[in-house]
Amino acid sequence: KAGVTQTPRYLIKTRGQQVTLSCSPISGHRSVSWYQQTPGQGLQFLFEYFSETQRNKGNFPGRFSGRQFSNSRSEMNVSTLELGDSALYLCASSSTGGTENTGELFFGEGSRLTVL
Amino acid sequence: AQSVTQLDSQVPVFEEAPVELRCNYSSSVSVYLFWYVQYPNQGLQLLLKYLSGSTLVKGINGFEAEFNKSQTSFHLRKPSVHISDTAEYFCAVSRVSGGYNKLIFGAGTRLAVHP
C-alpha cells in the first residue's frame, strides 16, 4: 500500500510569488491535514479536510489556503510569499473521520519550501 | 486549549543505555496522546498512541510510554537504545471530542545515541 505522497519535494520561490503543494493520501483515507514545520515555531497545524470539507483551521493568515478533491487528494496554496514562509510543509492522512477522529496520522515526507 | 511541553530539547545517550524522553500536557478536555519520530529528511512516523485502556502502551522499535493522568504526563522510554534510534521525537495530543484529527505537538526532543 503506497504511503502519503507529496510533490514537489523541494522548491525555491521568491518573495511575492505564490506556490501550490500537492498531497496524495493513502488509498481509502478521507482525512487530509497539513502542517508547517520550522526551526523556530516547530510543528503547527494549518488545516484539515474530510470529504472535501475544511473542518478545522489553524492560526495562519488568509494567504494560506487549501482544498480537497473528490478523490481525497489535497492541495495547499500560499500566496504572496514571505521569507518567513520558508518551511517544511507536511501532509498527513488518516483513515478515521466523522466521529472517529483519533489523531492517528500517516505523514508524507514533506515539501521543503525556500523563499528568497 | 491544549499544550504540550517536552522537557528536554536534546538527550545524549550511549548505545545500549536506557532512555526516557519526558512529555507533559495541559488540557481542559480529554485527549488522545501520541509519540511520533522524525528521521532526518523524512516525515513523521507514529511510534505509539494512547487512546484508552491500559496506561502502559507499547509501540514499535521497542519503545513504550506510560500515561499518568494525575501528573498529566506521557513519558517515552526504551530500555536499550541503538544508534539507529538517533532522531527527533515529538509528543502530541488530540482532543477526543471535536479533534478532527488536529494534533498539537511539543517542540521535540532530539535523541543522539553515541557508540
A40 three-class SS: coil
Q: Chain B within 8 Å of A9 (Cβ-Cβ)? A: no
Question: Best interface-test mutation with B: which of A68, A107, A109, A111 has the largest number of B CBs within 10 A?
Answer: A107
Residue in chain A closest to B49 (alpha carbons) equals A104
* Residue B86: per-residue pLDDT: 97
Residues paired with residue B68 on neighbouring β-strands, in sequence order: B73
**CB burial of residue A99 (10 Å; 0-12, 13-18, 19+):** exposed
pLDDT value at residue B29: 87
Q: What is the pLDDT along chain B (115 residues), one digit of tens a residue?
A: 889 999 999 999 999 999 999 999 999 888 899 999 999 888 999 999 998 888 999 999 999 999 999 999 999 999 999 999 999 999 999 888 776 778 999 999 999 999 9
Percent of chain A past pLDDT 90, that is, above it, reads: 81
Q: Which amino acid is at A9?
A: R
Distance in angstroms (rounded) separating the CA atoms of residues B39 and B6: 18
Range picked from A17-21, A51-55, B31-35, B98-102 for highest mean pLDDT:
A17-21
Which of A43, A48, A109 shows the shortest C-beta gap to B100?
A48
Q: What is the tens place of the pLDDT at every residue in A75-86?
A: 999 999 999 999
Q: In the β-sheet with A19-24, what is the strand arrangement from edge to edge?
A: A5-7, A19-24, A74-78, A64-68
Count CB-CB contacts under 10 A for residue B1. Answer: 8
